[in-house]
Structures are given as structure tokens and as C-alpha cells.
Amino acid sequence: MSAVSAPAPDDRPDPAVWRVADGPLVASTGQGPLAHVRLAVKDLFAVAGQRVGAGNPAWLAEARPKTAHADAVRRLLDAGAELTGIAQTDELAFSLAGTNPHYGTPANPAAPGRITGGSSSGPAAAVARGWADLGLATDTAGSIRVPASYCGLYGWRPTHGATPDGGLLALAPSFDTAGLLAHDPVLLRTAAEALLTPGDTTAPITRCMVDEELVSLAAPEVRASFEAACRALTLRTALPLAPARTGAAEHLEEWFAAFRTVQAAEAWERHGAWITRHPGALAPDVAARFENGRRVSAAERARAEQVLSDARKALDAVLPPGTALLLPATSGPAPLADAPPEEVEAVRAATLRLTCLASLAGLPAVVAPLLRVRSLPVGLCALGARGTDRALLDFVTDSRNPAHA
Amino acid sequence: MSAVSAPAPDDRPDPAVWRVADGPLVASTGQGPLAHVRLAVKDLFAVAGQRVGAGNPAWLAEARPKTAHADAVRRLLDAGAELTGIAQTDELAFSLAGTNPHYGTPANPAAPGRITGGSSSGPAAAVARGWADLGLATDTAGSIRVPASYCGLYGWRPTHGATPDGGLLALAPSFDTAGLLAHDPVLLRTAAEALLTPGDTTAPITRCMVDEELVSLAAPEVRASFEAACRALTLRTALPLAPARTGAAEHLEEWFAAFRTVQAAEAWERHGAWITRHPGALAPDVAARFENGRRVSAAERARAEQVLSDARKALDAVLPPGTALLLPATSGPAPLADAPPEEVEAVRAATLRLTCLASLAGLPAVVAPLLRVRSLPVGLCALGARGTDRALLDFVTDSRNPAHA
């Protein structure tokens, strides 16, 4: 694992954060709700005239320049954003650490000496450092929520399918989503509107729940801060905090195993041929995850998909529209960049048990930087019903409180 | 100086934070905009049936129980708050450190091993720790703004005279203000409304300024984060950031000296007789500040008051209603609790040069936890014109952005 990079001086782009950032790639039109907002795009989205690097030099070397922007990039540019640069990702987005052995480990300005989290490490670091205002990223198993939590940012994982995936390099298409990172909640909400299909606004969140069994998956020092943040949120929204028995905790190991099985199988389906042709191109931990996918049998995959289908129904039943389920976004704050691999893996495993619920069910999740452990940021995550992205974003990012008006 | 206290277990009140907190002192009525909000009151405000301790055991020993609540306490209770407890202060509020030699130094949950800042150390620590939702405090020279900055909280120093001071133990009545601390910006705004005299809302902030000469008073590592936060605020509000030549920097040493002269003279006027009768009752640094006040001659005081009068006119001219001047709230993050006294004094001197402008001119100031230095919080402070508290609070705490609506 690379040591964490020191923040680069502002006059040259930090290669651990940016793959391309030599002057804005696309200027702002100066018009629209995102006029002059500086956008960092994760190196999985097509940018016209640029190659997709996917966090791996061998991939980049064979890539050809794209002739058009990915749909999500185009929508943000149409809303007035400036495309400031292309930001780094974990290799093929199949990690949650942001410790890229080829390009380095970006510094986390909110937690010095610690990782940013991944796979959206570049956009998260760029936004946290103030080099960009908005990050366009992806979340398959937590790749927006984890760096948001570790870097003290707002993050949005949309309902699966609610934002366009055209021109996006896939990892596991049943779970991949294109979403956003920002320092400022209003900017996150405004940019989300540019990505979501126009439509009626959904009914507001009127029920706010906490499942203590799920919260107990986080470290004890997270839980005290989580309780205080939940209380602040309920005071703000004037919604009581209802205890929830989602039943998720008792099924979690089975659901999680099924999610990992299908994710790995899909990842191998997309990238196995390339990986086979490029032995040694990927870092060993990432390569091992793909390799797990190669070994999944058709019968195993079918069984896992059935488990996920049942899990979705179970979660839909306990999380109707108008409901938000509150969780710590990660099991703890960002690990030290020089933590031993066993510890990194243990943190990853604990955090994936919290993040996998939204992923496996395709549900929207919004992270807000409301917890603190010692001086380190941890996110509060609100999970909502499928398709209620606007209501969930309003619930988390809007400071208007009808009860206090 | 006392070492910083470890956070106390939640089942008994931490004496470095609370002087009185054995069960709610006044229950919530359950009605009103602050229903069930837990209020920590700085130990300078009268609470019916309780004594005022003012951070000093000799003072407390002679105090008699109050027969009525201070006006500010009563207004917050009338709005539905629960009076959770009476929180510690620096001795007679004449310090910015929160290192009380009698009751201990409260832990700063946002910056472990560091001071909370003072003199509103108790309410700030209680709110930061999640033991209270709202802190009623005072700010004479920065006693709300400094702990807000060091603890990562929102803080409001009102326009001088805009909130009631009945039942408040004074330090320097020309500068004393009763204001608020909170984690949540909406709660801060709601509670401010309960303290302000009802009236027409002021016109919104339409001009946002930065005076580089004033910003350069802060540490270099603060300035990078300050620039990023200003940019985020201008994107949110769609207001351009205008460079300002307030002229304050060139007069600052003269203005600051005049402020300190009048503050010390007024403090001696209020408390000199008691201090003379109680030799050795105060910590040496606090006693020395009062002693400075004893030595101010009538002619010196009159000259200093003339300087302040001129300073107010000069600031009023460059800060008309509708304007917000942005500043770092403190010169840096919270100092270590075991820093040597020279360093504590140097930090105090640098921070007072930033905080004294609002104090000497009687202007409103709102602090928001938007900067970060390494992993430590630092506040962004917005200073406004006299009487424009509502507009300034809306500017800083409201995430609604008409341009993005």
C-alpha cells in the first residue's frame, strides 16, 4: 500500500487526486443552476476528447478518446458546471480504500494521515480540499458513501436507475449508480435535480426510524455521536425517532453474502476477459475480488439472486415511501493510511455490512457529515424507499423546518 | 492551568461542564418552537431558585438564590425549552480559554486534548457533547464566537442591546451581549427569534465582502480553508465575493487598545469592590485583567471612548445594512490544553484582534463551523450592520438559495 500523499501545492495538480486537470476541460456556459460550479469527474465517466483510465495504467494505455460525454456529465455541464478535471478512482472501482498503487493515495484533508476511502477517492479528495465544488462519482457497494463519511462531505447514492448510466464504465450493473459528492448541501441538492429525471416531487419524509441492531454494527464510539446527531435531526424536522425492527440484522449475513456473490460475478462478466489478458495488471486485493467472481457457478448466482429478490421485498415492506432509516454511514472514521492490511480488511468488512443494504436493494441513500469520533468525521446516512430521492435529499440537506417556521 | 478533563460518563454531570445538572431544572411545557429543546444556561444568568456562580467558588458562596429567571432564560422557556442545567464559565467571564482552575477544563469533543475556548466553556462543551441542544451564553470580547469556532458549533453574538440583559451578571455593559450556541443552524435561528424583539424582518444580505488585510491576521493554514468556505458560501447564496477595504486593519491596534481600556475599566467598575474584598479569589491571569481596569484614569477612559465612537462610525460607513463581512472566527484552531501560558496568551491576542471589531462596534456576528485546519474545526464569522441580526442569521444558517430554487 502506498503511503498517503502530502497535499500538493496548489499550482500543480496532485496526481493522487487528478488524472487530468491541466486547466478546465470544459468551461462553464455561465448560465444555469450550476453556473461556475467546478466539477471533478471520476475516471469512469466518458469525457469527450479524453480517455477513461479507470484507475489503472494498463487500462488507460489501451483506451481510446471518447467522442461524447457520458449522459451524467452532459447534464451537469448543461446546468452550467465547469468540467475542472478527471479525478482518480480505485482500480475499476472495486475497492473502498482509495489506496491506488499506481497513482498514490490522496490525502484526506479532514483526517490527516488517513485514507479518503474509495473507490471515489479522487472526487472526494478534490472536493474536500476545495479544488472542486462537486464530484460526479459512482456507488456500487458504498463508493460514494464511504469517502463522504471519511472526508466529512455530503454524498448521494441515487435509487438504482434514477440517474443516467450512459457512457459510464460499469463494475456490477445491477448495483452501479451515478451520484454526487459535495461540501455544500444546497449544491448537492441542486446538482441532484440536474441528474434526476424531471418529475413530480415525491411526498416528504414523515417517518424517521432507527434499527438499534443495525446501529450496533458500528464502533461504540460512533454510536454516541450517532445518537446526538439523530436527536438534532429530529429536533430540526420535528419528526419523532421511531424504533424500527427492520429484520435486516437477522438476515444480514445471508443478504451480504448474496450481494457479494452477484457483484463479483457481474464484475467478472464485465472485466474478466480483460483481466485474463493482463495478468498482474491489478493490485492483488482487487484482483482477488474479481477472481472470486470467476469462481461463481451459475447455480450459486441464481440462488444469490433469489436471496436478493427476497431481501428487496423485505426492505420495501419495512421502508415505504415517506420513511427514512438512519444509520452510521461507516462503521468508524477513516483508517490510518499505514494501517496493516488485516485492519483495512476488517474495517472494510464492517463497513460493507452497513452500506450493502442500499446497494442490494437499489435504494437511495444520502450521507451528511454530522457525526464526529474524536476529531474525525463520520457520516450519518439516511436510507429511503426506491424512487424517493428528492424527498430524502430534502430531508437531509434542507434546513427549512416547517415546525420552526 | 488545569489539565483537560476526560469526558465524564453520561450518568453523572461533568463538573467541568455543569455547575448544576441534577435532573432538569425546569421541564418543557411541550409547546412552542423550542418544545423539548434541552437548554444549557451559562452561570451568569439568573435562574429562579438557583444562585449565580460566575465561575468562582467565592462568588457562589456569597450568592443568594434568585427569585426570578433572567429575561433571556424566561423567553427561551416560554418558547418551550427545557432548562437542563447551569453550565460553567470562565471566572466572571473575563477570559477566552475555558480553563477554570476551580472547576476544571471541559473536554472539547471536536478537538481532543484541546480547550473549548471561553468564557462560555460550559454551554459550548455541553452542546458539543450532545448533552444540550442549545446554549444560552454571553459574548463581550468573543466569548460565544471563540468556543463556537473551537468546538465546531454555530454561534450568534447579537447586536449590542438586541437581546434582553435583565438578570444577567455584567462584565462590561457597553459590550456585553446575551447570545446562543447550537450544533444545528435551524435551531440557532429559531431560538434567536425567541430572544429578538418581534419586529419587521430586515432586508436580506445582498453584498458579501472580504478584507484581505483582516484575513491575514489569521494563521496561514486557516486562510486556505477560509477561501474554500467563502467560495462555497458565494455559490450557495449566488452573491459575488467583493474585496473590501474597510480600513479596519490600519486602525486596528488603536481600536483594540481603546476597546481593552474601556472593557477593563467597566469590569473594574462592576466588580472591583468585590475583588478588593476577596484577595486571591481569582486566578492570576483574570485578576491581572481586572487590575488593569483599576489603573485606567478618567482621562484615558474618555480618550478611549472617543476612539471607539469614531471606530463605530467608520465601521457603520463601510458595513451598511445588507452587507456581510466574512472573517475567520479565530486566528487558528483550539490550542492544546497543556500549551504553555505564553502560547495561550499569544493565541488570545491574535484572536482578540479578529473578534474585537464586532465587540467594539456593537455589531452582530454569526459563526458557522465551515473551516477545518488539519482535522480541527475553525469557524467562519459573518459580521453585519447593527440591527440586521435576522438577515445575518438567515444568510449564514439558511440553506435556501433563491438562485438555486
- The mean per-residue pLDDT over the stretch B124-146 comes to 96
- A with B: how many residue pairs have Cβ under 8 Å apart? 92
In chain A, which residue's Cα lies nearest the Cα of B190? A404
Q: Show me where the domains of chain B are located.
A: 1-246+307-405
In chain B, which residue's Cα lies nearest the Cα of A151? B375
Domain B1-246+307-405 top-level CATH class:
alpha beta
Q: Could you give the CA distance from residue B382 to residue B315 in angstroms, rounded to a whole number?
A: 14
Q: Has residue A402 got a pLDDT over 80?
A: no
Is-contact A252 A355, C-beta < 8 A?
Answer: no
- For a pLDDT cut of 70, what percent of chain B falls above it? 96
Q: Does B28 touch chain A (CB under 8 A)?
A: no
Higher per-residue pLDDT: B31 or A399: B31
Q: Does A152 touch chain B (CB under 8 A)?
A: yes
Q: Has residue B2 got a pLDDT over 70?
A: no
Q: C-alpha grid cell for residue A180? A: 454526487
- State pLDDT tens for residues A15-52: 999 999 988 999 999 999 999 999 999 999 999 999 99
Identify the band that residue B6 occupies on the pLDDT scale cut at 50, 70 and 90: low
- The mean per-residue pLDDT over the stretch B293-316 comes to 96
Is-contact B146 B376, C-beta < 8 A?
Answer: no
Q: In Å, how far are A193, A230, A370, B146, B364 from A233, measured between CA atoms?
A: 23, 5, 9, 25, 27
Catalytic residues of A: 42, 119, 143
- The mean per-residue pLDDT over the stretch B328-355 comes to 92
Q: Which residues of B touch A403 (CB under 8 A)?
A: 33
Q: In what order do the strands lie in the sheet with A365-373?
A: A18-20, A82-87, A38-42, A134-139, A177-182, A154-157, A365-373, A376-384, A323-328, A207-210, A241-243
In 3D space, the residue among A171, A274, A168, B33 whose CA is nearest the CA of residue A179 turns out to be: A168
Q: Does A67 touch chain B (CB under 8 A)?
A: no
Closest residue to B235, CB basis, from A109, A187, A376: A187
Q: What pLDDT shows up at residue B126?
A: 96
Q: Does A207 touch chain B (CB under 8 A)?
A: no
Q: Which residues of A touch B375 (CB under 8 A)?
A: 110-112, 375-377
The question of ipTM being above 0.85 is answered as no
Q: What pLDDT shows up at residue A315?
A: 95
- State pLDDT tens for residues A311-335: 999 999 999 999 999 999 999 999 9
Q: Could you give the CA distance from residue B363 to residue B312 in angstroms, rounded to a whole number?
A: 9
In chain A, which residue's Cα lies nearest the Cα of B372? A110
Q: Which residues of A touch B401 (CB under 8 A)?
A: 186, 190
Q: Bridge-partner residues for A20, per DSSP?
A: A86
- State pLDDT tens for residues A228-265: 899 888 888 888 899 988 888 899 999 999 999 999 99
Closest residue to B185, CB basis, from A190, A399, A403: A399
Helix and strand counts by DSSP (H, E) for chain B:
12, 11
Q: Is B143 assigned a catalytic role?
A: yes
Closest residue to A111, CB basis, from B111, B236, B375: B375
Cβ contact A401–B225 (<8 Å): no
Q: Has residue A2 got a pLDDT over 60?
A: no
Identify the band that residue B8 occupies on the pLDDT scale cut at 50, 70 and 90: low
CATH topology of domain A1-405: Amidase signature (AS) enzymes (3.90.1300)
Q: Bridge-partner residues for B210, per DSSP?
A: B243, B326
In chain A, which residue's Cα lies nearest the Cα of B185? A399
Q: Does B379 touch chain A (CB under 8 A)?
A: no
Q: What pLDDT shows up at residue A400?
A: 53
Q: Which residues of A touch B398 (CB under 8 A)?
A: 399-400
Cβ contact A112–B375 (<8 Å): yes
Q: Are strands A241-243 and B38-42 parallel, antiparallel or unpaired?
A: unpaired
Cβ contact A375–B186 (<8 Å): no
Q: Which residues of B touch A376 (CB under 8 A)?
A: 375
Q: What pLDDT shows up at residue B405?
A: 33
Q: Does B32 touch chain A (CB under 8 A)?
A: no
Looking at every residue in chain B, the average pLDDT score rounds to 92
Is-contact B249 B214, C-beta < 8 A?
Answer: yes
